[in-house]
């Protein structure tokens, strides 16, 4: 085999790898977009969210923002404490099936605890332009982070991810000057998450090799809080324990007895968002332990 043949072989191999990665990303876009649309319509029919877009911007201290993210413009809702100075600032990266509409009550609870919060919709979600992709979602999160920095300066900004958002939050924490990191109902990698929710192994292998929490958290130098529902049917408590083991920085794992995967925003409780999340953001004490709290609601 000559030098020219080797060059051609390398080119073809590289082209095949790039095509394979591109196809996986395309399939991810289809899977996420399709799943989110189905869940959104289900939640509207079940009246979990309103049909119009007014509720999420109702009330004092609430403002809506158009955030530029590359070539896209993403939608974000900021809720500040009313009548008091914020003690903490939090960026929220939501899950696969929710939008800013799902988070209004949670944001009000956080505001009542002195935390200003910004929830944004990824490209292709809600009012945000474009289409969802892993790279774009991370860019969206970074853009939203810097927007929140400007809006709540001089407060440092922490990052919270729930479900799908934990992969995005962990991926960007080393790219922004994050103050603290919170992972709720998280997973260890996108491929392992796919298997955990029931995708057969031979199909899950087509999942992009992204959002590997072990790689992301090894580079994490900020205090980490992991909150997981005891009865999460999608991601096991053991997966949450693995997340804690990945972190070289101080990490705390809180197991919420009786709580399921989407309970934090479907059935928000002050015991969850106030006593766990807001307290960590405002009054953090360095520790690395596993804690259980009373059930957020009766199941």
Query: Is 299 inside any structural domain?
Result: no
| pLDDT of 75 above 60 | yes
Query: Is 246 inside any structural domain?
Result: yes
Query: Is 211 inside any structural domain?
Result: yes
Query: Is 86 inside any structural domain?
Result: yes
Query: Is 208 inside any structural domain?
Result: yes
Tell me: the pLDDT tens digits for 198-213? 989 888 888 888 999 9
How many Cα atoms occupy the beta-carbon half-sphere of 120 within 13 Å?
34
* Mean pLDDT score, 151-180: 97
Burial of residue 45 (number of CB atoms within 10 Å: 0-12, 13-18, 19+): exposed
Query: Is 254 inside any structural domain?
Result: yes
Query: Is 66 inside any structural domain?
Result: yes
| CATH for 206 | 3.40.50.1820
Confidence of residue 222 (pLDDT cuts 50, 70, 90): very high
Percent of the chain having pLDDT more than 70?
A: 85
Query: Is 297 inside any structural domain?
Result: no
Mean pLDDT is lowest, of 64-78, 184-198, 199-213, for 199-213
Return the number of other C-beta atoms located less than 10 Å from residue 37's C-beta.
Answer: 13
Structural domain containing residue 274? 3-292
User: What pLDDT sits at residue 130?
Assistant: 97
Tell me: the pLDDT tens digits for 79-109? 999 988 999 999 999 999 999 999 999 999 9
Confidence of residue 59 (pLDDT cuts 50, 70, 90): confident
Cα distance between residue 22 and residue 30, in whole Å: 13
User: What pLDDT sits at residue 137?
Assistant: 98
Length of the chain: 299
- Work out how many domains the chain is built from and give that number: 1
User: What pLDDT sits at residue 6?
Assistant: 41
| pLDDT of 16 above 50 | no
DSSP state, residue 190? H
**Most confident of the following: 44-48, 219-223, 293-297:** 219-223
Q: CB within 8 A of 12, min separation 6: which ones?
A: none
Cα distance between residue 251 and residue 104, in whole Å: 28
Tell me: the pLDDT tens digits for 280-299? 999 764 444 555 444 443 32
The pLDDT mean for the chain works out to 87
Beta carbons of 82 and 61 less than 8 angstroms apart = yes
Mean pLDDT is lowest, of 43-57, 130-144, 242-256, 279-293, for 279-293
């Amino acid at each position: 085999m000559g030098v020219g043949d080797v060059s051609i072989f390398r080119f073809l191999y590289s082209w095949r790898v790039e095509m394979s990665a591109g196809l996986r990303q395309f399939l991810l876009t289809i899977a996420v977009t399709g799943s989110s649309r189905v869940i959104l319509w289900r939640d509207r029919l079940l009246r979990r969210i309103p049909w119009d877009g007014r509720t999420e911007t109702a009330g004092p201290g609430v403002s809506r923002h158009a955030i530029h993210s590359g070539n896209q413009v993403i939608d974000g809702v900021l809720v500040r404490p009313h009548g008091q100075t914020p003690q903490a600032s939090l960026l929220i990266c939501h899950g696969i099936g929710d939008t800013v509409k799902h988070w209004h009550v949670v944001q009000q609870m956080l505001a009542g605890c002195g935390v200003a919060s910004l929830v944004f919709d990824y490209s292709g979600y809600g009012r945000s332009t474009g289409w969802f992709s892993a790279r774009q979602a991370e860019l969206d999160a970074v853009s939203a982070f810097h927007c929140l920095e400007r809006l709540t300066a001089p407060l440092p900004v922490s990052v919270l991810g729930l479900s799908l958002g934990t992969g995005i939050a962990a991926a960007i924490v080393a790219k922004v000057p994050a103050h603290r990191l919170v992972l709720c109902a998280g997973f260890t990698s996108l491929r392992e998450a796919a298997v955990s929710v029931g995708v057969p192994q031979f199909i899950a292998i087509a999942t992009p090799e992204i959002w590997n929490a072990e790689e992301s958290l090894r580079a994490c130098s900020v205090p980490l809080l992991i909150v997981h529902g005891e009865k999460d049917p999608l991601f096991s408590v053991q997966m949450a324990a693995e997340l804690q083991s990945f972190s070289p920085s101080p990490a705390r794992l809180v197991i919420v007895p009786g709580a399921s995967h989407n309970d934090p925003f479907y059935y928000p409780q002050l015991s969850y968002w106030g006593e766990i999340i807001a307290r960590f953001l405002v009054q953090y004490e360095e520790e690395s332990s596993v804690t259980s709290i009373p059930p957020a609601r009766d199941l």
